Amino acid sequence: MTHFYFFLRLLKESFRDLVPIVLVILFFQLAILQTIPDDWIATSIGMTIVGVGLAIFLYGLEIGIFPVGENLTRDFAKTGSTIWILIFGFMIGFGTTIAEPALVVIAEKAAAISSGRIDANTLRFVVAFSVGFAILIGVYRIIKGHPIHYYIITGYILVVGVTFFAPGEIIGLAYDLGGVTTSTVTVPLVAALGIGLASTIKGRNPIIDGFGLIAFASLTPMIFVQVYGIYVYNFGEVSQVASIAIEAKASISTIISPETIAFGLIAVVKDVAPILAIIFFFQYAILKKPIENLQSVIAGFILVILGLYAFILGLEMGLFALGESMAYQLTKTGNMWIIYVFAFAIGFSTTMAEPALMAIAKKSKEISDGKINDLSLRLFVAVGVAIGISLGAFRIVDGGHIHYYIIVGYFFVILLTFIAPKHIIPIAYDSGGVTTSTVTVPLVAALGIGLASEIPGRSPLVDGFGLIAFASLFPMITVMLYGVLVEKFGVKGDEEKAQEEEKKLFKIHGSLEGVDDMSLSTIDLNGTGLRHSMKLDFSAVILIVPKGKEDDALSAAKEAGASGVTMLNASGMGLAEFDNFYRHSHEENDKLLLFIVPTLIVENIIKKLIAKLHITTTGDGIVFSVPINHVKGISMRQEDIFEREIEELKNQN
């Protein structure tokens, strides 16, 4: 039943996030175009399949990709082998990009429009290599602890510099490819890689150092593809590049049959297979250790495959066709303001339903201790995408050069980088890469090429591409503005709220008069053979953490003043949110540590444990204290008693 309720919750959230898309489509179809789609039944069924597939996909992420990615990076960090960590980062970036469905679509579209001057397979290889290189650089930054904005600003300068030498036919395509390289499979695994690495390396902050890999993966393709374009258009075969008008034809709705389901599943398996191969190779061949909870991990990847296929199938069952058809019909109305409003609405609604953004937003809330609200973050990202696509549509209509818009956008990003709080900057950079994936790319690409095909004097190759670049740029601006607002209004994390509540608490100490000896605590003074009885308050500090973390816990508790501990094997599960339930087997994978200490040092012990084990941020576990009395037979360091006596004397005076 627990599995069932967890899935129902994900299902509810998935359909809630699809509502904006449905409302946008219905409004523009009925109120503006005033027509009823021919395949409205297929579209309705498709949307239902999208909701179910999205829930299955997110469920698979939780039990498959996130745990194995975090564990793998933790193990790599412990080995201390920088070379293997960098190679692993490169292979994850390359393997997850080479078979990216959105990249395949854009590459084939570019090859057709360029009359074959651009080779689709070569373009995919260039992009995949650039993403692998980006992850390698990003991992190196985390290891060294360098501030991310130095790398990003340098990258922007290179992008703009190369733009002035690149042919016009390649610029919009290169900018767009920076947004389509981070998919629903790539983003969670790359995020787990960065956060896991930053959580393991001493001195690194998961929220400041862990994010940013996706930003690198969105930036480098723009440089590499423009360099590829310079070579192709200057040193390749000299031929006339035809100006091909793209026929305004909507996609064909998918027909469900055993054959199409089989081929569709095989295609998704091919997309996920490189990731599995890389993980198993590094886990068993390099680290030479088995994957923890292998059955759960395999089940998670199977669910990711099934969920992703159902998600794509639902989109193809009419939604893509409907979106493309609406884009072309709106361009024919001649009312450009309707197009801008549609671009804003479709950008906002598709981004709110983006699985990759959901994964990043959830992770941001988790490691920021609740200071970053996942829904608020998604709203600001969606507004950024909506503004970007609207402005991009205006650029096509107006006929301006894309790089002028992008340069101005980069200027605002760099300016806000020096104003926004440090913890929001890497998340803002990553937000630009997760907004253009499975849902957004086809609809946005159809809108851009449709506009460029219908407006006289516009080229589908030169002007049609670029909307995805706008959709990737503006979320960085809006998310940093969100960070500025969070700081301005003093939004606090869960731990900060708890500390404020703790300051409000007070304790009333009882008098020693009229208290018999049995109510006094009996202390054995270490190394003296003496015993001492006094009215000394004691508490039990109870800590539950995964196995392997007990050494860190003992070190922190000893530093805070604890002198002894009782350890037990344990197994447990959370029954409130279920977030971590599926990551643990029913074996005894936890440790329960019991410390009996003077109440005077309880707060210090708990603070040390939280800091050492990251309990309120990225770590797993729970710690709490319980007041106790009539303690007998405990040994305690003498200085603890002296500290209490001095404290009581101060209170009396």
Quote the CA–CA distance of 252 and 324 in Å, as a whole number: 10
Measure CA 22 to chain center. Answer: 25
Residue 571 lies in a domain: yes
C-alpha R_g of the chain? 29
Same domain assignment for residues 488 and 509: no
Residue 559 lies in a domain: yes
CA distances from 312 to 54, 271, 306, 347 (A): 10, 13, 10, 18
Residue 36 lies in a domain: yes
Query: Look-up: residue for tokens 């941020």?
Result: 617
Residue 471 lies in a domain: yes
Here the tokens at position 222 are 């723009």
487 — phi, psi (to 5°)? -70, -40
Quote the CA–CA distance of 141 and 423 in Å, as a whole number: 16
For the stretch 393-424, what's the b/e string if a residue is b when 16 or more beta carbons lie within 10 angstroms of its beta carbon?
Answer: bbbbbeeebbbebbeebbeebeebbeebeebb
Same domain assignment for residues 277 and 300: yes
Same domain assignment for residues 187 and 270: yes
Same domain assignment for residues 474 and 537: no
Same domain assignment for residues 492 and 582: no
* Nearest in space to 53 (alpha carbons), one of 327, 389, 319: 319
The CB-side HSE value for 454 (13 A sphere, CA atoms) comes to 21
**Domain end point (choices 477, 496, 515):** 496
CA distances from 486 to 311, 351, 483, 573 (A): 34, 22, 5, 33
Same domain assignment for residues 490 and 519: no
Q: Total domain count for the chain?
A: 2
Quote the CA–CA distance of 452 and 134 in Å, as a whole number: 32
Instruction: Please report the pLDDT score of residue 391 as a whole number.
Output: 92
CB 64 within 8 A of CB 190: no
Quote the CA–CA distance of 397 and 368 in Å, as a whole number: 41
CATH of the domain at 575: 3.30.70.120
CB 598 within 8 A of CB 639: no
- Per-residue 3-state assignment (H helix, E strand, C coil) for 162-173: HHCCCCHHHHHH
Here the tokens at position 276 are 């599995």
Parent domain of 441: 2-240+257-496
Q: Which residues contact 422 (CB under 8 A, 6 or more apart)?
A: 208
Same domain assignment for residues 488 and 559: no
Residue 250 lies in a domain: no
Quote the CA–CA distance of 619 and 358 in Å, as a whole number: 21
Q: Which residues contact 50 (CB under 8 A, 6 or more apart)?
A: 14, 18, 310, 311, 314, 315, 319, 353
One-letter identity of residue 210: G
DSSP string, 140-187: HHHHHT--HHHHHHHHHHHHHHHHTTS-HHHHHHHHHHHHHS--TTHH
CB 472 within 8 A of CB 254: no
* Nearest in space to 159 (alpha carbons), one of 181, 180, 177: 177
Same domain assignment for residues 491 and 625: no
pLDDT tens profile 273-309:
877 888 888 888 888 888 877 888 888 888 888 887 8
**Domain end point (choices 473, 496, 519):** 496
Residue 548 lies in a domain: yes
Quote the CA–CA distance of 262 and 122 in Å, as a whole number: 28
* Nearest in space to 486 (alpha carbons), one of 380, 561, 589, 582: 380
**Domain end point (choices 458, 480, 496):** 496
Same domain assignment for residues 447 and 506: no
Same domain assignment for residues 460 and 529: no
Q: Is the pTM of this model over 0.85?
A: no
Instruction: Please report the pLDDT score of residue 640 as a whole number.
Output: 56
Same domain assignment for residues 491 and 506: no
Instruction: Please report the pLDDT score of residue 634 as a whole number.
Output: 64
The DSSP element (H or E) to which 591 belongs, if any, is: strand 590-598
Residue 252 lies in a domain: no
Query: Look-up: residue for tokens 């107006």?
Result: 398
For the chain (653 residues), the mean pLDDT of every run of 10, in chain order, is 69 75 79 74 78 82 73 71 85 78 72 76 90 90 86 87 85 78 66 77 77 82 91 64 36 64 81 79 84 81 84 70 67 79 85 74 74 86 90 86 83 88 82 64 72 76 76 88 86 65 43 45 54 69 87 85 85 52 52 87 88 78 85 60 56 62
Residue 18 lies in a domain: yes
Query: Look-up: residue for tokens 């939004």?
Result: 491
Question: Dihedral of CA 418/420/424/430: which sign?
Answer: negative
DSSP string, 599-616: GGGHHHHHHHHHHHHTTT
Same domain assignment for residues 491 and 559: no
Q: How are strands ordered across the β-sheet holding 538-546?
A: 566-570, 590-598, 538-546, 622-628
Q: Which residues contact 82 (CB under 8 A, 6 or more apart)?
A: 143
